[in-house]
Structure 1
Amino acid sequence: MKSLRHAVTLLVPALLALGTGLALLVLAVARRVVTPMRRVTDTEILSVDTGAQTIELGRTLDTELPGRYGLFTTGTYGYVKLGAVLTADAHTVRRKLLTQIEPGARVDRAASFSGYYYSSPSELHLRWESVLIGSPAGPCPAWYFPASSTTWVIQVHGRGATRAECLRAVPVLHAAGLPNLVVSYRNDGEAPRTRAGAYALGASEWRDVDAAIAYALRHGAERVLLMGWSMGGAISLQAAVNSGLRDRIAGIILESPVVDWRTVLRFQARMVGVRAPLPELAMGALQRPLTARLSGADEPIAFDRLDMVARADELVAPILILHSDDDGFVPADSSHALQEARPDLVTMPRFTVARHTKLWNYDQTGWTSAITDWLAAQGFSSSS
C-alpha cells in the first residue's frame, strides 16, 4: 500500500502537468487499446434480390474484394455468406448470395463485413467436439477436430474476434493429418473474464495458450504447431518465448499477425486521426501500474516484451507468415522485419490486395498452397 501511495505521489503530478484535458485524452486512448472491441457496423446493405439471390452493398475497400466472405446482419438472418462480385460502380457493389434468403425475410441495412465465412464448426463436415481447457483464467472453451498425427495445431483467434475466425484453416490442416484445437482466451467473450476484463495484447493471454499446449500433450500430442490470427499471432509468439513447454512447439503459422504492437498502434492512430504524441503517451500510460489501471488494464503492459522483431533471437521454431502488403489494419512492416531478422526461421510468401485476415477469402488457392508447401517442407504430416 505504501508503494502504491508513492506511485500516486509521483505519477499524478506528472499527469496533471500535461493538463487535465490532455491527461484524460491520453487515458481514453489507452483505454481504447485494451478494451475488447464490439463488432463494428461498417457495411450498408442497399437491397436484396431474393429472386436472383444477389445483394447490393455500399462500396468499400472490403466489399469490393473478389472472393467469398460473410456478412453479420440483423433481422431474419444473423449471418449470410457472400460470393463473387457481379457488378460494381463508384458507390455500390452487387454480389452473389451464397446463403439462400427467402422472400419476405427482413434484412436490416446496417451490417458488418467479415472474413470468417464459416460461422460454426459443423459447417466443415468434419468430426469435432467441444472441450474445456483449464487455464489460470478459468475454463476456456475450445473446439477439437481429431486427426491421425501426434502433431497438433493450436489455433488462436484475433482481437475482437471469436474462435469462428479460425475455422477457415481447419480443412487444410486436417487434410495434412493434423488435429486442430481451436481455443478461446481470457476476455474474448467466450472464455472467463478477468477483474478488469481488458486485453493485455498477448502479455497475459499467452498463459491460456500455454494451458492449451499442456492439454494437447496430456491428450496424445507429442508436439504442437501454433497458428495465430492477428492479435492471436502476438499471443502465439509470446507463448513461443515464454512457455515452459516451448520445446514442444515445433512450428508457428502467423496469419496477418501483430509482431510489434508499437508499429500497429501508431498506424491505427494515424488511420483514425489521432496525432502524435498521443499514441506514445497512451502506450507510456499502459506501461505504468497506476495509469495502466486508470486506463482499464489489469496489469501494466511491457511493450518491449511484445516487440518480437527486437526479440527475434529468442525464437527457435520455424515460422510461416501469411500477411498481405495491403492489409490495411495491421501493417506488414513488422512481419517483413521479422523475416529479415530471422531468414533462417521465417518463410514469408508474398501476398497483396487482400485485406486484414482475408487472405483465404481473396486467394484460397494461394493461401492453401503456402500452408501445404510449408508443412511438407518442415516434415509436418500424419506420419511425423
Structure 2
Amino acid sequence: MKAQSHAVPSRKPSSSIVGLAAAAVGGVAALASIASVVAVGAVARMVVTPAKQRQRDTEVLSLNRRRKTITLRATPDTILPGRYGMWFGQPERYLKLGPVLWRDRTSVTRRLESDEIGLPLHGRATFSGWYYQHPRELGLESESVRIETPIGAAPAWLVPAENPRDTWVILVHGRGVGRGEPVRAVPVLRDAGFTTLNVSYRNDGDAPRSADGRYGLGATEWEDVDAAIDYALAAGARDVILMGWSMGGAISLQVALQGRNREAVRGIILESPVTDWNRVLVFQAEAESIPPIVRHGALAALGNPWGRRLTGLDAPLDLPSLDIVARSSELSVPILILHSDDDGFVPSSGSHALADARPDLVTLDIFQVARHTKLWNYDPDRWNRSIAGWLDKNFPRGA
C-alpha cells in the first residue's frame, strides 16, 4: 500500500505497524502456498484422471458438400500430410480425412472421405490419428472376445491371420483413447502371419473401472494385458509380441518386466512410447509453462502416500519403476521403436536413450514431422516396411 502524505518520515514504525506488515507478508505467503498446493493438486490429478469427454482441439472453418472437402484451422497436427480422423457434429460422428489439398498460414483444406450429410458447416472438433475405428473397416474377419482381467471382463478384438503362426501380437492403445488406435497395425501384422488381439484395459472407457478410477501410467494396467496373454496362450498361441502406442508402450514394457507371463513375451514393438514418465511430465509441464515448484510438487504427489488426497489414487505410483531407461539392463527381448523427433507430446529423447542403453536389443526408427502416434498416417509405406522388416529379421517363418 502506498504511504499516506501526512506521515512523518523520521518516525520509526510502531510495533503495531510492524506487526501488521508482518501479518500482511505472512498472509500473502500463505495465499501463495495455498495457490501452489491447489496448482500441484490440479496438475497431479490431471495426469492420472481419465477425461470425461474428448478435447475439442480443432476448429472446422467450413465444409464444402459439393467438393467433399473440409477446411480446418491450421495447427501442427491438422496440416500433416496423410490420412487422419476427426470427431465432429452433434451427435458426434467419426469422419475420415484424406490428404491436404490446399493450405495457407491459417487454414488447411483436406479431402473429406466420409458422408457429410447432416454435418454442420463449422464448429469445434477433435483431431485423431486413428483413421480406422474397427477391424471390420479393413474387410477382415474379426471376433469380439472378453478377457478376464483381475477387475472384471474387458472386451477385445481378435483378428486371425490367414496363414497363422503360433505367435500372436497383442495390441495396446495409449492414454485417453481406445481400441481404434491400434487397428492401423492389423494389416501388416496379419500379412506376416500374426493373429492380433486388440485389448482394452482398466479406465479406458471399454474395460472395467478400477476402484479409484485413475490411470496407473502402466503400473496397474499391465495386469490387464498380462491377462490378455493368458487368453492368447489358452487359445493356442505359443508366445506373444506386444505392441504399444504411447502409454500403451509403458504398459507393454511393464508386462515384459514383471508380468506373470513375461517368459511368453518374445518381442516388443513401440510407437511413440513412454519409456520414462518423469521425462515426459517435465517436458509437458515446460511446454505449458507450469512453474518448476508446481511440476516438482505434482511429481512428488504422484509418488508419495500424502499425495493420494490430491490425486485420488488408491496407492502412490512408483515412478522410478516406470523408468525403463534406468531399468534397461532388465530387458531381454528384441524391441522396435518408431518415434518422431517432433512428437510434441512424448519426447523422443527417451527412445533415443533406451536405444543407446541397449543397442543389442533396440532397433530405433526415427521419423520427422509425423508428430505423436501419427507415424502410420504420415508415411504408411515406411511404417509398414519398418515393422515387416523387423519381424522378418527377428521372427522368420519356421524358426
CA-based RMSD of the aligned residues comes to: 1.5
1:195 and 2:211 matched:
yes
User: How many pairs does the alignment contain?
Assistant: 367
Matches within 5 A, 1:174-193: 174-193=190-209
Deviation at 1:293, TM superposition (A): 4.0
| 1:293-341 deviation per Cα after TM superposition (whole angstroms, max 9, x unaligned) | 4311121101100000000000001000000001111010000000000
Deviation at 1:188, TM superposition (A): 0.6
Gaps of 5+ in 2: 1-29
The corresponding residue for 1:255 is: 271
The corresponding residue for 2:94 is: 79
| 1:125-160 deviation per Cα after TM superposition (whole angstroms, max 9, x unaligned) | 111100110011211110001121110000100000
The corresponding residue for 2:167 is: 151
Q: Distance in 1 between matches of 2:104 and 2:232?
A: 50
CA contact (8 A) 1:197 1:298 kept: no
Structure 1 residue corresponding to 2:368, chosen from 352, 363, 370: 352
The corresponding residue for 1:165 is: 181
The corresponding residue for 2:66 is: 51
Structure 2 residue corresponding to 1:312, chosen from 317, 328, 331: 328
CA contact (8 A) 2:266 2:333 kept: yes
1:123 and 2:129 matched:
no
Deviation at 1:20, TM superposition (A): 2.6
Q: Distance in 2 between matches of 1:229 and 1:202?
A: 12
1:61 and 2:61 matched:
no
Q: Distance in 1 between matches of 2:187 and 2:103?
A: 32
Q: Distance in 1 between matches of 2:41 and 2:393?
A: 47
CA contact (8 A) 2:63 2:122 kept: no
Give the AA of the match of 2:375: L
Q: Distance in 2 between matches of 1:293 and 1:132?
A: 34
Secondary structure of 1:224's counterpart equals strand
Structure 1 residue corresponding to 2:377, chosen from 341, 361, 382: 361
The corresponding residue for 2:19 is: none
CA contact (8 A) 2:44 2:310 kept: no
Give the AA of the match of 1:39: R
Cα pair distance change 1:380/1:179, threshold 3 Å: farther
The corresponding residue for 1:211 is: 227
Cα pair distance change 1:217/1:109, threshold 3 Å: same
| 1:34-76 deviation per Cα after TM superposition (whole angstroms, max 9, x unaligned) | 0013321111111111111111111100111100001111236
Structure 2 residue corresponding to 1:42, chosen from 41, 45, 57: 57
Q: Distance in 2 between matches of 1:229 and 1:168?
A: 11
Gaps of 5+ in 1: 1-15
Q: Distance in 2 between matches of 1:211 and 1:361?
A: 30
Q: Distance in 1 between matches of 2:31 and 2:59?
A: 44
CA contact (8 A) 1:77 1:107 kept: no
The structure with the largest alpha-carbon Rg is 2
Cα pair distance change 1:354/1:122, threshold 3 Å: same
The corresponding residue for 1:303 is: 319
CA contact (8 A) 2:83 2:98 kept: yes
Q: Distance in 1 between matches of 2:60 and 2:226?
A: 41
Secondary structure of 1:162's counterpart equals coil
Secondary structure of 2:307's counterpart equals helix
1:23 and 2:29 matched:
no
Give the AA of the match of 2:255: A
Give the AA of the match of 1:145: V
Secondary structure of 2:371's counterpart equals coil
Deviation at 1:226, TM superposition (A): 0.2
Matches within 5 A, 1:221-260: 221-260=237-276
Q: Distance in 2 between matches of 1:269 and 1:296?
A: 20
Q: Distance in 2 between matches of 1:299 and 1:169?
A: 34
| 1:184-210 deviation per Cα after TM superposition (whole angstroms, max 9, x unaligned) | 000111100011100010001000011
Deviation at 1:17, TM superposition (A): 12
Deviation at 1:264, TM superposition (A): 0.4
CA contact (8 A) 1:76 1:107 kept: no
The corresponding residue for 2:114 is: 99
1:70 and 2:80 matched:
no
Deviation at 1:349, TM superposition (A): 1.6
Q: Distance in 1 between matches of 2:92 and 2:176?
A: 21
Q: Distance in 1 between matches of 2:181 and 2:189?
A: 15
Secondary structure of 2:175's counterpart equals coil
TM-score with structure 1 length normalisation? 0.93
